[in-house]
Amino acid sequence: MIGWQDRLTGPAGRVVDRYFTDARGGVSRPPYAGLNLGAHVGDDPAAVADNRTRLADEVGVPTERLVWMNQVHGAEVWVAEQQGQTPPEGDGVLTTTADLALAVLVADCTPVLLADVDAGVVGAVHAGRPGMVAGVVPAAVRRMRDLGAERIVAAVGPSVCGRCYEVPAEMRDAATDLAPGSRAVSWTGTPAIDVAAGVVEQLTADGVEVSWVAGCTRESDHLYSYRRDQRTGRFAGVVVLRGEGAS
């Protein structure tokens, strides 16, 4: 269920927990088999609800404090201030509110978890190729700084690798004009894009310290991949700013 997790602790005693799930566990049946967290992919709504409850239990928050995005492959970033907010269209969500679990759903795109544990600001970002080109990650970093963040760190989760993301040459050129590090070549020698590498380049240019979690979605059978399977589920990145008394 939880494929990767870590904890950041600040000198003032603040705590931030970060997680990336995978497809293992859960109750969804094929072709979504496992812990599908996507409610928009055709899976049984009851199975998705069960899976989301299991995720909430794993990260230690009530289900209603899981904050999901209305992802549209853009560059809009919004701020969640309380549970139950209706998410606007956007691919980045931030909060300074403790014990809200911000979630990003992916099945090849790059999930990014941002945190300034000292300032008490966290964020989750959905960065596919269009979002990377549109600058959703730099937009989220700027908005975090508007909220008081100074020392931001990022966890970049598993996504489709450059060897597996074959694209037309003109699409690669458009991406690499904005993020040269995203230029890649596929397994068969054709033009390709490494979105995660481009995102890491953008973060580094903005002075953000990066932890890059290994894994290619298309090559890993324990991760959902739209490019591999078309009809499939979604895994998540989740970040939680803990309240007082976190242990």
Mean pLDDT in runs of 10 for the chain (247 residues)?
95 92 97 97 98 98 97 97 88 97 98 97 97 97 97 98 97 94 96 98 98 96 96 98 74
Q: What is the pLDDT of residue 12?
A: 77
Taking only Cα atoms into account, the Rg of the chain, rounded to an integer number of angstroms, comes to 17
CB within 8 A of 239, min separation 6: which ones? 16, 17, 18, 19, 101, 102, 113, 114, 115, 122, 123, 124
Contact 35/17 with Cβ under 8 angstroms? no
Residue 158 falls in which region: left (phi positive, over 0), alpha (psi -120 to 50) or beta: beta
Distance, in Å, from the CA atom of 147 to the CA atom of 105, rounded to the nearest integer, reads 24
Q: What is the pLDDT of residue 86?
A: 87
Q: What is the pLDDT of residue 64?
A: 96
List the chain domain ranges: 2-241
Residue type, 59: V
Nearest alpha carbon to residue 102 among 75, 69, 149 = 69
What three-state secondary structure class fits 187?
Answer: coil
Look up the CATH number of domain 2-241.
3.60.140.10
Q: What is the pLDDT of residue 13?
A: 83
Q: What is the pLDDT of residue 82?
A: 86
CB-CB neighbours of 148 under 10 Å: 12
What three-state secondary structure class fits 191?
Answer: strand
Distance, in Å, from the CA atom of 71 to the CA atom of 106, rounded to the nearest integer, reads 10
Q: What is the pLDDT of residue 76?
A: 97
Whole-prediction pTM: 0.96
Listed in order, strand segments (DSSP E) in 40-171 are 66-67, 77-79, 92-95, 101-106, 110-116, 121-127, 153-156
Nearest alpha carbon to residue 108 among 71, 49, 159, 175 = 159
